[in-house]
Amino acid sequence: MNLQLVDWVIVGGLLAFLIAITLGSRHHMRSVADFLAAGRCAGRYLISVSEGAAGLGAITLIAFWEMYYKRGFTSVWWNLPNWPILFIIALTGWVSYRFRQTRALTLAQFFEMRYSRRFRIFAGLVAFLCGVINFGIFPAVGTRFFIYFCGLPDHFDAAGLHLNTYATLMACLLCLSLFFTFTGGQIAIILTDFLQGLVTMSILVITVGILLYKVRWATVTSALVMAKPGESYLNPFDMSGVNDFGVRYFAIWYVMWFYRWMAWQGTQGFNASAKSPHEQKMAKVLGTWRYFAQEMLIPIIAICALAYLLHPELFPSVATVQQTLGGLENEKIRTQMTVPLALSHLLPQGLMGCLCAMMLAAFISNHNSYLHSWGSIFIQDVVMPLRGRPFEPRTHLMLLRLAILGVAVFIYLFSLVFEQNQYILMFFQSTGGIYLGGAGAAIIGGLYWRRGTSAGAWTAIVVGAVASLIGLGLLEIKPANVTMPAVAELLTWVQSRITGMDMTFIVSALAVASYVAVSLLQPHRPFDLDRLLHRGEYADAGSTPEMPVTGLNLFRVGAEYTRFDRIIYLASISWMLLCGVVFVIGLTYHRLHGTTAEGWSRFWYWLVWLAMGMGSVIVCWFAVGGIRDMIEMFRRLRTAVRDDTDDGMVRDGQ
């Protein structure tokens, strides 16, 4: 057992606090809209932090540690353009602003409003099936972390039974996530995820500081220069031998940010929870600041673990870690558990408990949001449209909870039997593409193109799903398990040259081409977007002026901005430009003069300390703003008049 009493007290204290907050908020949940979208009463800071925590689960941290352990700081450099891209998306309100204008509770409800009920049902079913398959490995990866990090035995005895630790602990963790989801729906999820997000960021800052003190930057640098030529850990321009997380991987990501924005529905409850479209947009803007600090702190943890393992002469405990890793037969699981095992020998007592508490918070926040989303999607976007008429509120809530329970049972069983053959991030791409491949075309075309048709949307979803399933088979089936030599040879060739990210790009391109081609070939009347977006003659009396939506006007400040909004807005634009300028200068300098590992070491040193400073400021800033939003949300929920027809059912006139 690696954790001491003080560590368990820290873990138990955080869990008790989250349970108390959840129980205290349950009486505010009085309607279907409260369960699904927190009564649309959440402010920007609550949404920004809680949505970020929901997306940053235990599996996400482990997936990033897996990538950064393999590629070091080089992946951080190619991630730099993500911040300008995210700022552009947030500042322009790309997709999210128009989606909030539709007043849909779920994405598939928007599909019915824009295309047809049949398309909503089909898209909802594809999203649900894709989501639960993608979700299927989440409990497995998170549970393995706790087993190896805490040093738990493979089996234990309880009440006269000899129990498997992996299966039992995973069941307990899922039951805990179900408790938070069932008790207060999206209201409880936003509150607990907000607190968990603050805890996660705080502990990341502290952990990075302690690791840098223990490992020392000189040790980190001396370890990273040991990389083979073409597979550098420091120099992002020395990656010619990299096929997995190389330049091509990130170039595709740049495109996918725009194509898939808001398409993934694992955290869909947050998309409809804001008290206004402007708050939704500002939450995205604020989220990019948190994202920068977070994305710079996560890599250094994996890189310190890498330096620790590459210096056995400085850290004798490396032998114990290597022995444990050697006992893991599955190569991908061995890679996933490398950083957690290294951390279990690097971190001091007390901080071990903090990191364990952070991972527990990340596990819960991620799982309760995903359970809520996929269970809700099945009822809202498959069952209700098929039924054709709304449920009574009490029946509706009961069915939502039963669907969520069904998702939990499925992912538990899936995690018990499925054996991974890809890196976690590659698995996300190949499974997510089943739905995302075609959904991106249907969303963007539906919100921005009057000529987009239902037939085009159907074609895009079908093409995306079929192509992704074929690609998933090519990437996941082990050649050794195939009896036909020709097929085995084909699988070997594909898996050695094509990654899950490559398959994502191919599938998305096919879906876009099919959506545009079918829509243009089909004669029809252009769709009335003003009615869908409640603008122009369909705008509510007294509504705020619309945000400019064309050309450079996208960056103008609208009447809905307060003075502080303008400050955040201008600061965001400045930071976006700075990140872009740094990236361009780095590219240009390398082309003209070349770069060295020593120069990159100095660059990463200062960038890490910048991230630590930003992380500390953001925790304090967002904590104050989030507490204010929490008080305001409770006030709105106490006085809000519930409408039982606000249940996600599209009725005549909508």
CA 580 – CA 81 distance, rounded (Å): 6
Going by C-alpha positions, the residue among 481, 534, 482, 490 that lies closest to residue 653 is 534
Q: What is residue 155's DSSP assignment?
A: E
**In 3D, which of 518, 402, 418, 416 has the Cα closest to residue 460?**
518
Q: What is the pLDDT of residues 494-521, one digit of tens each?
A: 877 788 788 888 999 999 999 999 999 8
Q: Which contacts of 123-126 are long-range, i.e. CB under 8 A and separated by 24 or more positions?
A: 123/381, 123/435, 123/439, 123/442, 123/457, 123/461, 124/377, 124/378, 124/380, 124/381, 124/382, 124/385, 125/381, 125/382, 126/434, 126/435, 126/438, 126/461, 126/465
- Rounded percentage of the chain residues whose pLDDT exceeds 70: 90
pLDDT band at 240 (very low <50, low <70, confident <90, very high): confident
What's the confidence (pLDDT) of residue 455?
92
CA–CA distances in Å: residue 394 to residues 200, 256, 368, 385, 650 = 35, 40, 21, 18, 19
Q: Find the largest Cα–Cα distance for the chain.
A: 74
DSSP symbols for 153-216: -SEEEETTEEEEHHHHHHHHHHHHHHHHHHHHHHHHHHHHHHHHHHHHHHHHHHHHHHHHHHH-
Q: Are 157 and 417 in contact (CB under 8 A)?
A: no
Amino acid making up residue 577 = L
How sure is the predictor about 462, in pLDDT bands with cuts at 50, 70 and 90? very high
Given a contact cutoff of 8 angstroms between Cβ atoms, the answer to whether 74 and 603 are in contact is no
Is residue 248 within 8 A of residue 254, CB to CB? The reply is: no
Q: Which of 86-90, 263-267, 502-506, 593-597 has the lowest mean pLDDT?
A: 263-267
Mean pLDDT of the region 356-367:
87
Average pLDDT of the chain to the nearest whole number: 82
Question: Is the pLDDT score of 644 beyond 70?
Answer: no
- Set out the domains of the chain in order of their start, with CATH numbers: 5-262+270-421+552-639 (1.20.1730)
Residue 54 has a pLDDT of 72
If pLDDT is split at 50, 70 and 90, which confidence band does 547 have? very low
Asked whether the predicted pLDDT for residue 38 surpasses 80, the reply is no
Helix (H) or strand (E) holding 600: helix 597-639
Q: Are 233 and 72 in contact (CB under 8 A)?
A: yes
- As a whole number of angstroms, the distance between CA 356 and CA 528 comes to 52
| 624-to-54, 254, 359 alpha-carbon distances in Å | 20, 33, 23
The whole-model pTM stands at: 0.78
- The 8-class DSSP code of residue 272 comes to G
Separation of alpha carbons 334 and 592, rounded Å: 41
For residue 38, the 8-state DSSP code is G
Q: Is the pLDDT of residue 29 over 70?
A: no
| Alpha-carbon distances, residue 563 vs 548, 613, 621 (angstroms) | 18, 25, 17
d(CA 494, CA 561) in angstroms, rounded, equals: 51
Q: Say if CB 191 and CB 25 are below 8 A apart.
A: yes
Residue 23: what pLDDT? 81
Instruction: Enumerate the H helices of 424-546 as residue ranges.
Output: 424-448, 454-476, 485-497, 500-521, 529-532
pLDDT in tens, 337-361: 888 898 988 888 889 999 999 899 8
Distance in angstroms (rounded) separating the CA atoms of residues 425 and 66: 9
CA distance 309 to 297: 19
Residue type, 545: P
Specify whether the CB–CB gap between 39 and 192 falls below 8 A.
Answer: no
Reported as a pLDDT band with limits 50, 70 and 90, residue 545 is: very low
Selection from 332, 298, 312 nearest residue 204 by Cα: 298
Place of tokens 């402010």: 43
Per residue in 127-177, pLDDT (tens digit) is: 888 889 888 899 999 999 999 999 888 888 887 788 899 999 999 999 988
CB 31 within 8 A of CB 642: yes
171 contacts: CB under 8 Å, gap ≥ 6: 412
If you write DSSP's letter for every residue of 621-648 in order, what string do you get? HHHHHHHHHHHHHHHHHHHPPP-TT-SS
For the segment 58-74, the average pLDDT, to the nearest whole number, is 85
End-to-end CA distance of the chain: 58
d(CA 226, CA 310): 9
Q: Would you list the DSSP string of 173-189?
A: HHHHHHHHHHHHHHHHH
pLDDT at residue 593, as a whole number: 86
How far, in Å, CA of 458 to CA of 476, rounded?
A: 27
Percentage of the chain modeled with pLDDT above 90: 13
pLDDT of residue 512: 94
Q: Pick the more confident residue, 153 or 269.
A: 153
Residue from 134, 192, 32, 220 nearest 407 by CA: 134
Is the pLDDT reported for residue 563 higher than 60? yes
What pLDDT is attached to residue 268? 59
Using CA atoms, how far residue 576 sits from 82, 198, 515, in Å, is 10, 24, 32
CA dist 214 → 271, 307, 598 (Å): 41, 11, 21
Give yes or no for residue 542 having a pLDDT over 60: no
Structure confidence by residue, pLDDT tens digits, 294-324:
777 888 888 888 888 888 888 888 888 888 8
Condensed to tens digits (0 to 9), the pLDDT of residues 189-224 reads: 777 788 888 888 888 888 888 888 888 888 888 888
The predicted structure's pLDDT at residue 128:
86
Q: Which residues contact 541 (CB under 8 A, 6 or more apart)?
A: none
Phi-psi region of 643 (alpha: psi -120 to 50; beta: other; left: phi over 0): beta
Specify the pLDDT at position 139.
93
pLDDT one-digit tens code per residue, 368-416: 888 888 888 888 778 888 887 778 878 888 888 899 999 999 999 999 9
How confident is the model at residue 495, as a pLDDT? 77
CB 322 within 8 A of CB 341: no
| 230 phi and psi angles, rounded to 5 deg | 85, -5
The helices-and-strands tally (H runs, E runs) of the chain is 26, 2
Separation between Cα atoms, residue 42 and residue 309, nearest integer Å: 45
